[in-house]
Amino acid sequence: MRSDRLAVFAGTREGHDLARYLADTGRLEKTDFFVATDYGKNALEDVSGVRVIVGRMDREAMERCFRRRGYRQIVDATHPYAAEVTENLRAAAADCGTAYMRLLREEEDCDRNKIRFVDSQREAAALLNDRDDKFLLTTGARDIGAYARVKNLRQRGCARVLPAEESLRACLEAGFSRERIICMQGPFTRAMNIATMEQFGCSVLVTKSTGRAGGFPEKAALAEEGYRVIVIGRPEKEEGFTLKEIIERLEIE
């Protein structure tokens, strides 16, 4: 039987902002938030009354969860690069006949003549192997293993990741030197990015197109400072709604 509960799969700043909106409008008690890690749960701690369920789920687990709880609506506020999670959520919701909305993070314009866009982490790693420059990696820890075979990684590579145990572990397993791993929560200012590049002697930045919420403009700006910037493009052009549009749709219901 269909309930009046809402499920939000979070993990982004927009997901946090949606939790704030639901709290302010008194709808949080009828909402379940799902996150993959304890770090994601901690990011929602400042929203009083939020109910958070921690753990990764495959498509079958999602479908069982949706059927058991009978959600009326699924909001997918996962990271723009979490393509597999989004695909599973969309499919599980369709199989259960549950309404699904994708919360999109808007992309920012940048000077593509000064920035090198690539399609994957592996392609970025291949470019790093073509030169001997030191580099700062800000693509996250989830797929950092793609850089494990970059030549002289311990001397050249510097990784900036979220301050979570699993992030540090992934960097160490990939072969990054402990002295060149930065565990910090962003987004970061342009000045902070430049200071980090200078401190570790990096001339190349590898990042993702994470939008304004993810600090992309401040990272892309390094190209104006003479740094080489490599951007891993988003998996595909998605259809969905902005945070404002999702809030408007929830207000109608």
Domain ranges, ordered by start, for the chain:
6-106+237-252, 115-232
Q: What angle do CA 63, 69, 70 make, to 5 degrees?
A: 80
pLDDT at position 253 is: 61
Is residue 41 within 8 Å of residue 54, measured between CB atoms?
Answer: yes
Sign of CA dihedral 139, 19, 55, 45: positive
Is residue 135 within 8 Å of residue 203, measured between CB atoms?
Answer: yes
Q: Is the preceding omega at residue 80 within 30 degrees of 0, hence cis?
A: no
pLDDT at position 108 is: 62
pLDDT at position 238 is: 72
The whole-angstrom separation of Cα 59 and Cα 72 is: 18
pLDDT at position 96 is: 94
Sheet holding 115-118, edge to edge: 115-118, 228-232, 204-208, 135-137, 157-161, 181-183
Sheet holding 52-54, edge to edge: 52-54, 31-35, 6-9, 73-76, 99-102
pLDDT in tens, the chain (253 residues): 567 899 999 987 888 999 999 999 998 889 999 999 888 888 898 899 999 999 999 999 999 999 999 999 999 999 877 888 999 999 999 999 999 999 987 666 666 677 898 989 999 999 999 989 999 999 989 889 999 999 999 999 999 999 989 999 999 999 999 999 999 988 889 999 999 999 999 999 999 887 776 677 788 888 989 999 999 887 666 788 988 999 998 876 6
pLDDT at position 107 is: 62
Is residue 243 within 8 Å of residue 18, measured between CB atoms?
Answer: yes
pLDDT at position 142 is: 87
Q: Which two tokens stand for residue 176?
A: 């990054």
pLDDT at position 4 is: 82
Q: Which two tokens stand for residue 136?
A: 């700062």
Stated as kind and residue range, the H or E segment containing 92 is: helix 83-96
How far does Cα 117 stand from its chain's mean position? 18
pTM: 0.72
Q: 């979220």: which residue's tokens? A: 162
pLDDT at position 37 is: 87
Single-letter residue type at 177: S
pLDDT at position 38 is: 86
State which fold the 115-232 domain adopts: Rossmann fold (3.40.50)
State which fold the 6-106+237-252 domain adopts: Rossmann fold (3.40.50)
Single-letter residue type at 1: M
- Evaluate whether 6-106+237-252 and 115-232 have a shared fold: yes
Closest CA to 211 of 120, 111, 107: 107
pLDDT at position 2 is: 61
Beta bridge partners of 158: 136
Through-space distance between the first and last CA atoms of the chain, rounded to whole angstroms: 18
The whole-angstrom separation of Cα 75 and Cα 30 is: 13
The whole-angstrom separation of Cα 244 and Cα 202 is: 38
